[in-house]
Structure formats: C-alpha cells, structure tokens
Amino acid sequence: MATKKIYLYPLWLRIWHHVNAVLMLALILTGVSMQYSNPDYPLIRFDIAVSVHNISGILLTLSYFYFFLGILFTSIGRHYVMKQGFIKAFYQQARYYMFGIFRGEPSPFPVNADRKFNPIQQITYNVIQHAITPVTFITGWALLYPETIILNVFGYSGILLTSLLHVAAGFLISIFLVIHLYFITVGHSVSSNMKSMITGYHEIHDDVKNNSADSEGEQSSEDSGKTK
C-alpha cells in the first residue's frame, strides 16, 4: 500500500539514536540498581553498576554533543524548530492522541519530508534532549567529582540536592522511554515506525496522504528529502 518512501533518518542520526538508546537503558538499569540496592536481592552487583553507570554517563555526554552538532550543522535541525501557532498545533495533536486516534481520524500533522515530527514530538524531544538529558549528565559529572559540589545550600547538603535532581531527571527519562517505546506502535502499522528507524525510510501511504487535515499545506518530498 506504500506509495512513497522518504529518507528521513540519515545514518548518523540512526547510529546516534540506537547508541543513545543503549546508553539510556544501561544508565536506567544501573541507576535503579544502585538507588534500590539490596544485599539480598542485587539487580546488578553494586561495584559493576557504579562502573557501568559512570562509563555510560561519560559516553552519553559525548553522544549528546554529537547529536547537538548534528542538528546544528545538518538539515535535520529544522525539524526541531517550533514554529508560530505551536500552542494551537499542540492542542490539535493532543486532541488527536486522546480522541481522534480511536475514531480513525487522520493525523493532523502527518509525516512528510519537511515535517518529521508532530508538535508533541517536537516539544518532548526538545525538552528531553536539551533540558532533562543535560541535567542528568551535568549533575552526573558533578557526582563523579563531588568535591566540585557546593557543600551546603540553605542548610541542605549540596550532594543531596544534586543527587535528587539527578534521580528526578533520570526518572523523567525512564518515563519518556516507556512512552517512546509505546509510540513505536503508533505508525501506519505496528512495526512501520520501527522499520523506519532501521532503514531510514519513512513510508507515506495513500490513505494517510489523502486524509490528512492539512494535506493542502504538504510540500512535495522531492523538495528536500530523498525519495524512492
């Protein structure tokens, strides 16, 4: 049924995404294991968890800057720019996810060569990548070198506050991960989004193309993306 394939996920981005996913998983698992450490039921041995967490955290920092340079210097960056009328668009997309999707309504912001993300994806990825992930690795580096942390902040231990911030940000990322994994299935078919992230090509189907709410604004994918 696929009518067109557009190349939306270049190799550098896919490599980053998958490496990032593995690092995030390693960090969440080892983090949970340390936070809920128990001598009788160790999820991961404490010293191994510490080493894996530290190494993964360092690699995640590098991975973040790799991604940051990627969106800064390639055309992929334009997909993350939230344009005017964002709030209205956000509401439309939220309404679709909460009601329209169950009634078989077309997605208000279907994927095309110029729009990889809907407004909810845009704000979520921006917040996760540019706010929460930096909080985790900045506080993580501080905890790796605790002598750099202010000892006392208004009567509270600086290390305690840094740790709470680190754990809270890590928790938000783990919530994001669960929802993100679920949204793999919200494609044309249950596995189509997964396939896209492996091959790099996004399939545009006739039924979606014809039904989309703003198909009049849809630009030809030939403008900017490779097509098949």
Paired with 2 in beta bridges are 205
When asked if residue 50 is in the footprint of other proteins (CB under 8 A), the reply is: yes
Tokens matching residue 132: 């929460």
When asked if residue 186 is in the footprint of other proteins (CB under 8 A), the reply is: yes
- Which of 74, 157, 191, 219 is the binder for other proteins (CB under 8 A)? 157
Tokens matching residue 101: 């999707």
When asked if residue 104 is in the footprint of other proteins (CB under 8 A), the reply is: yes
When asked if residue 11 is in the footprint of other proteins (CB under 8 A), the reply is: no
Q: Measured from the CB of residue 168, what is the shortest distance to other proteins in angstroms? A: 8
When asked if residue 75 is in the footprint of other proteins (CB under 8 A), the reply is: no
In 3D space, the residue among 214, 174, 205 whose CA is nearest the CA of residue 4 turns out to be: 205
- Indicate the DSSP class of residue 76: G
When asked if residue 211 is in the footprint of other proteins (CB under 8 A), the reply is: no
Neighbouring residues of 161: CB distance < 8 A, sequence distance ≥ 6: 153
Span of 14-22, 111-119, 152-160, 216-224 interacting with other proteins by CB under 8 A: 152-160
When asked if residue 103 is in the footprint of other proteins (CB under 8 A), the reply is: yes
Choose between 206 and 222: whose C-beta lies nearer to other proteins.
Answer: 206
- Which of 19, 28, 34, 194 is the binder for other proteins (CB under 8 A)? 34
In 3D space, the residue among 223, 221, 213, 222 whose CA is nearest the CA of residue 92 turns out to be: 213
Q: What's the rounded Cα separation, in Å, for the pair 122 and 18? A: 19
Span of 36-44, 115-123, 192-200, 213-221 interacting with other proteins by CB under 8 A: 36-44
When asked if residue 191 is in the footprint of other proteins (CB under 8 A), the reply is: no
When asked if residue 1 is in the footprint of other proteins (CB under 8 A), the reply is: no
Question: Rg of the Cα trace of the chain?
Answer: 20
Q: Is 5 left (phi over 0), alpha (psi -120 to 50) or beta?
A: beta
Span of 18-26, 56-64, 100-108, 131-139 interacting with other proteins by CB under 8 A: 100-108
Listed as own residue / partner, the contacts of 71-76 with beta carbons closer than 8 Å and 24 or more positions apart are 74/10, 74/12, 75/224, 76/10, 76/13, 76/116
How many residues at the interface with other proteins, by CB under 8 A?
Answer: 33
11 phi and psi angles, rounded to 5 deg: -55, -45
Q: Applying CB under 8 A, which residues contact other proteins?
A: 34-39, 42, 46-47, 50-51, 54, 97, 101-104, 146-147, 157, 159-160, 163-164, 167, 171, 174-175, 178-179, 182, 185-186
